[in-house]
Amino acid sequence: MTTLAETAPGALQVTDRKSARAFVDTHIVPYADAYDRQGRVPEELLERMTAAGLWAPFLPRETGGGGMDLVTLGEVHEEVGRGCSSVRSLLTVHTMVSWAVQRWGSPAQREQWVPALGRGDVLAAFCLSEPGAGSDASGIATNVVEKNGGWVLNGVKKWITNGQRADLFLVFARTATSIGAFLVPRDSPGVEVTPIEDMLGTRASMIAEISFRDVALGPDALLGPSGFTAGMVLTGTLDLGRYSVATGSVGIIQAALEACAAYASRRTVGGSLLKDLPLIQAKLSDMVTDARAARLLVAEAGRLKDAGEASTIMATWVAKYFASTAAARHASEAVQIHGANGCGHDYPVARLYRDAKVMEIIEGSNEIQRITIASQAEREII
Amino acid sequence: MSGNAKEQILDFVRARYPQAEIDETQDIFALGFVNSLFAMELVMFIEKTFEVTIPNDELKIDNFRSANTMAELVDRLSPARV
Ligand SMILES: Cc1cc2nc3c(=O)[nH]c(=O)nc-3n(C[C@H](O)[C@H](O)[C@H](O)COP(=O)(O)OP(=O)(O)OC[C@H]3O[C@@H](n4cnc5c(N)ncnc54)[C@H](O)[C@@H]3O)c2cc1C
């Protein structure tokens, strides 16, 4: 099959916020509500993203990547999140897996997967949650046993973003001694994908339940160290996912703000424009302020990542907590400002409202974020 | 090098857990507060501070038990000094 990436070599390359904004305004914003209704992102957009180099531009240049720093990556994900949280979710999980393979993979694993992940020829999904375990990762029941020098995988993963479409799954499973991360190609015998439709939010993110029945894997399926540090593969990968969700949440606030600023400048109530009513102004001012504050927290987390500072992990928790709760608050107020129009299909704010709720649940729910941040509170004593 | 490394590692661990009494031989895992978040922070701290990359086969629990073993790891991974 000839792809857009091949037929459109001169397509706009996304290298920074400005080019991401142009890409999103052209190829995503006009269609995001339709994706939401159809419950999927069309293949054509996935190919456009490939042509634009959007999938994993942070991978090092020597692997064929763009070597993009993480502050810029955050800005790009914010822009995509402004356009459509479902598309941003696809980017998030692909980013997580691509980073994990680059960071923890053996030379052979990197050679096999990284260039293809970087180009977007192989799309990836992250498989941790199960019907019986979400927040508590140590409760997962999916397991592997060593057999004939390789592994046999059994279990069920649920709520897997892009599970319907991804070619490669990073699956967390219980080993004899700990939890390990395993690279499982979708076409492995024993893998079964069941779409989950009609979600509340990020409805187009092609979520699936994936079952693994006696899936035989080679010895090279295990990613990264085993033993005590295996948990670090999970921690590091979730950290980057959390960062991406935080940026996407900033995008939701920005989208709510832009929609409300436009609507309040047109809509009159009792002879006054909405934007001239003090109670509406209060909502708009809080959106402006929180968008800026959230963006700064995210940028700080990104800067610490680029510097390799350990404190980025905590900074990312704080940024995601602030940005996701602010997104939920402001998306709700955005519906309020639009009145009945906010509840219908003609404006994007109903979608933002549903998508924002998801941000408070994924990559560490609000409750887990608060528990984690509180447990580190003594570090803040200065 | 390792004396200095030991001190820097101890400072890092103490700053994270000010309530714990930790010396260079103390098994930090035995204290029960090492979770995967802290393990990740520790690895990032060591890589950044001492400009080393810890390969997967060195990511073993015994290398991270105490400031002493971590300083030895840093020594092993640092380019030889003339
Ligand atoms: C749209 C969407 C996409 C997703 N995509 C993925 C994906 O790609 N890959 C993947 O692996 N997973 C995915 N998930 C799953 C997601 O990671 C989990 O939903 C999340 O981790 C929470 O787990 P849970 O739903 O099982 O809730 P539970 O863990 O059952 O928690 C239920 C409630 O209890 C709260 N709670 C939990 N522990 C405590 C505590 N100690 N104190 C107080 N309250 C607590 C939680 O915050 C939550 O509010 C997705 C979920 C959604 C909704």
Please tell me the number of Cα atoms within 13 Å of A211 on its side-chain side. Answer: 8
Task: For residues A251 and A344, state if they share a domain.
Answer: yes
Rounded distance, CA A260 to CA A140, Å?
42
Task: For residues A143 and A277, state if they share a domain.
Answer: no
Could you say which of A232, A307, A379 has the minimum Cβ distance to residue B36? A232
| Residue after which a domain boundary falls, among A228, A244, A266 | A228
Does residue A2 fall inside a structural domain? no
* One-letter amino acid for residue A97 of the chain: V
| A370: pLDDT strictly greater than 60 | yes
Burial B26-37 (b: 16+ CB within 10 A, else e): bebeeeeebebb
* pLDDT tens per residue, range A5-62: 454 556 789 999 999 999 999 999 999 999 999 999 999 999 999 999 999 999 999 9
pLDDT at A9: 56
pLDDT at B62: 87
* pLDDT tens per residue, range B35-82: 778 888 899 999 999 999 988 888 888 898 899 999 999 999 987 654
| Residue after which a domain boundary falls, among A198, A228, A258 | A228
Does residue A247 fall inside a structural domain? yes
Task: Please give the share of chain A, as a percent, with pLDDT higher than 90.
Answer: 90
At A3, the pLDDT band (50, 70, 90 cuts) reads: very low
Q: Is A363 a catalytic residue?
A: yes
pLDDT at A89: 98
Q: How many domains does chain A have?
A: 3
Does residue A4 fall inside a structural domain? no
Among protein residues, the one with the nearest Cα to ligand 1's atom 26 is: A134
The pocket around ligand 1, CB under 6 angstroms, is made up of: A 93, 126-129, 134-135, 159-161, 199, 202, 207, 358, 361-362, 365, 367-368, 371
Does residue A45 fall inside a structural domain? yes
Task: For residues A149 and A26, state if they share a domain.
Answer: no
| A353: pLDDT strictly greater than 70 | yes
Task: For residues A171 and A85, state if they share a domain.
Answer: no
At A4, the pLDDT band (50, 70, 90 cuts) reads: very low
Q: What are A183's two structure tokens?
A: 């690279």
CATH number at residue A43: 1.10.540.10
pLDDT at B59: 85
Task: For residues A187 and A264, state if they share a domain.
Answer: no
* pLDDT tens per residue, range A252-295: 999 999 999 999 999 999 999 999 999 999 999 999 999 999 99
| A339: pLDDT strictly greater than 80 | yes
Across A362-381, average pLDDT:
89
At B22, the pLDDT band (50, 70, 90 cuts) reads: confident
* One-letter amino acid for residue A305 of the chain: K
Does residue A149 fall inside a structural domain? yes
Task: For residues A376 and A236, state if they share a domain.
Answer: yes
Rounded distance, CA A185 to CA A294, Å?
37
Decide: A192 and A154 in contact? Cβ < 8 Å: no
Task: For residues A220 and A274, state if they share a domain.
Answer: no
Across A145-155, average pLDDT:
95
Task: For residues A251 and A154, state if they share a domain.
Answer: no
- Helix axis angle, B36-49 relative to B67-77, nearest 10°? 40
Instruction: Give residue B49 CA to ligand 1 midpoint distance, Å.
Output: 35
Task: For residues A38 and A117, state if they share a domain.
Answer: yes
How confident is the prediction for chain A on average, in pLDDT?
94
Q: Do A236 and B40 touch (CB under 8 A)?
A: yes
Task: For residues A272 and A171, state if they share a domain.
Answer: no
Does residue A3 fall inside a structural domain? no
| Residue after which a domain boundary falls, among A104, A122, A140 | A122
Q: How many domains does chain B have?
A: 1
Q: Do A313 and B40 touch (CB under 8 A)?
A: yes
ipTM of the complex: 0.84
Task: For residues A188 and A247, state if they share a domain.
Answer: no
Task: For residues A265 and A170, state if they share a domain.
Answer: no
Which pTM does this prediction carry? 0.95
Q: Which domain holds residue B30?
A: 2-81
Q: Which domain holds residue A74?
A: 10-122
Q: Which residue of B has its CA nearest to A381?
A: B15
Taking CA atoms, B38 is separated from A131, A332, A371, in Å, by 28, 36, 15
CATH number at residue B66: 1.10.1200.10
Rounded distance, CA A242 to CA A96, Å?
9
| A166: pLDDT strictly greater than 90 | yes
pLDDT at A227: 65
More confident residue, A9 or A101: A101
Across B22-38, average pLDDT:
82
What are the φ/ψ torsions at residue B37 (nearest 5 degrees)?
A: -65, -45
Q: Do A372 and B61 touch (CB under 8 A)?
A: no
At A177, the pLDDT band (50, 70, 90 cuts) reads: confident
